[in-house]
A and B are shown apart, each in its own frame.
Chain A
Amino acid sequence: MTYYIETTFLTKKFGDLTAVDKLNLKIRAGEIYGLLGPNGAGKTTTVKMLCGLIRPTSGGANVLEHKIDKSITPFIGYMPQETALYLDLTVRENLTFFGKIFGLRKDKIQERERELLKFIHLEKFADTLVNNLSGGMKHRVSLACALLHEPKLLFLDEPTVGIDPELRVSFWNYFIELKESGISMLITTHYMDEAGRCDRIGFMRGGRLIAEGVPSELLQSTNTESLEDAFLEFAKGISAT
């Protein structure tokens, strides 16, 4: 079994606050792994450490079977929680810029732009300033920017926060489509209901992984009908001990 993400006792402290607490996570090649938990559970901090944006306080992690440094960046895609786009640039100019810093050739960038604009259904807005797009459109452009260099592993940090239910459904359709094209994904979310579409999910609380498994199994083992209830069951178990 190939693990694209493997952490061992990964820990991050901010002063007195332990954001991520001895996290052991194994994410397989080819799967969509959902990291679920309430706000402040340590999901974003985990993703930032895995992308090399912040350094762990202790413990370690491998991404794509390699220690985390600049050499993994061509193979990972990162969609931050914030829109993280240049608002005064057009959609195409944003895509081109991210293509260039990944060292893509000009014709390759043009080809990827065509594919991705079609994928996110924004062909007509290619030359519109990002600032003039709706929130949902910006989210789609943000996803496209993370995909431009054809990463093997995609980090999606709360990709569906603040977008309407309809678009949320289409986002999950994008994710399934991407998985079928061979991209592995780590998705963080606090919308538990949508996470049923992940291959496996992990529940995070207080910086720790409190449960992990295939969604249907988690429901079965807690005898619940929704992932939200399942999470609450596991959280209760933790509080009791």
Chain B
Amino acid sequence: MKIYRLFAVVERIFRYLKNDKRTLVEIFVAPIFIMLIFGAAFSTEVHDVSVVIVNNDQGLSVPSGDMPSKLSDKIISNLNTSVMKVEYANNVSQAVNMVENGKAYGVIIFPTNFTSDFYSKLQNHSNSDNTTVALRLDKSNSNVAEAISKTVNAAVFKTVTDIGSEMPISVNAGDAIYAQNARFIDFFVPGVTTFSVYQLTTLLTLIAFVGERTSGTLYRLMASPLKETEIVAGYTLAFSILGMGQAALLLIVGITVFNITVVGSIILAFAVVTLLAIVSVSLGVLLSSVARREIQALQLIPFVVLPALLLSGIFMPTEAIPSWMRPAAYLFPTTYTAEAVRSVLLKGWGLDKILIDVGALFAFIAIFLVLAMLTLKGRE
């Protein structure tokens, strides 16, 4: 391996980028765009869901002590108003009608003797169905329906707990082991950084290398003193530098714009993403032997990019994947990267605790590089 030939390849790629501004934009603007779009718009929480309440609860005229006279109102006041937009109806059919006309997603019904039955249940331990809050939901949007159930449950739970010591069991999730104040964006930024670097680096290398094959320049290179190892090493170096630039930019945007939680070493997180960039370059070179034309490179996206997006814990944890499918997640380098970067940033883990992920990334590099080299050497 001659270092001047390797650098000639690197310089060639950078000159190409200098002359092709569109690709430069794709490398540095696209990932920020992805992060801003997802960061701002994508969230598992729903807001401002219209709900109709039918409150038939008559209340109880003589409540004991500081007990509320109308329990239903207390529950309604405890509903999370950022999730729900509450409207009222006089009867159930009117409320259901509103759902049917698309004006609301659900109906919350309090029965007539709700408060009184509740108090008698407390005192006599009698069983009465009249303490049931009925929910009639439009479940065609399961996310929204679940959010309504959860919000009502939370309001009921809070109301009952507030009333006093009658709740025999309590749950306290206020004391976190890791990431006390984490939001979805804190989970998301490491994921989207991983995904952007993987996707853009793989595709860019793939398209550039398919170009070498189709234009005939690869033949010229092969008829020159340039060795296969130098070509692959040159590509790896050049595109890894670009991948590092991307990773740095995404982490900076995550930290400054979204103010994500960082308790661990940013440098370590950055190093892990850099490893992924190297994996992606070698994958791109390898895939270029499958794709003979540029269009065929794009045809690989459903097999290479989309599964990584859905399986690697970018948007949702890998635990959300059905168990029979979960092993497939570990075929993608992005799974290890997202996990490691998250652990480093949010939990403050050091290298010693992400050794398995880092080892997996090195294994990917070794396998892909060797295979990529073979596709170049193993010519007919």
Contacts and interface: CB of A to CB of B under 8 A. Distances in A.
Interface of A: 14, 48, 51-55, 70, 73-74, 76, 78, 80-90, 93, 97-98, 100-103, 129, 145-146, 155
Contacts of B328: none
Given A89-B16, A103-B5, A129-B19, A52 B224 contact: no
A100 B9 CA distance: 9
Contacts of A70: 225, 227
B216 interface: yes
A87 B15 CA distance: 11
B242 to A, nearest CB: 15
A102 B2 CA distance: 11
A86 B11 CA distance: 13
Given A80-B216, A101-B5, A103-B5, A53 B12 contact: no
17 contacts: A14-B380, A48-B219, A51-B219, A52-B222, A54-B379, A78-B223, A80-B220, A82-B215, A86-B12, A88-B20, A90-B19, A97-B12, A97-B15, A98-B220, A101-B8, A101-B225, A155-B223
Contacts of A73: 223-225
Contacts of A52: 222-223
Interface string B97-125: 00000000000000000000000000000
B379 A53 contact: yes
A73 B223 CA distance: 6
Nearest to A14: B380
Contacts, number: 84
A102 to B, nearest CB: 6
A88 B16 contact: yes
Contact of A103 (B15, B217, B221, B225): B225
Contacts of B19: 88-90, 93, 129
Contact of B4 (A87, A93, A100): A100
B226 interface: yes
Contact of A87 (B215, B223, B380): B215
A76 B4 contact: no
Given A14-B380, A80-B216, A83-B216, A101 B221 contact: yes
B292 to A, nearest CB: 13
Interface string B12-35: 100110011000000000000000
Interface in B223-280: 223-227
Contact of B215 (A78, A83, A145): A83
A39 B357 CA distance: 53
Given A103-B2, A103-B225, 13 more contacts: A53-B223, A54-B379, A82-B215, A84-B216, A85-B217, A86-B217, A88-B20, A93-B12, A100-B5, A101-B8, A101-B224, A101-B225, A145-B220
A55 B8 CA distance: 27
A85 B20 CA distance: 15
Nearest to A70: B225
B380 A55 contact: yes
Nearest to A77: B223
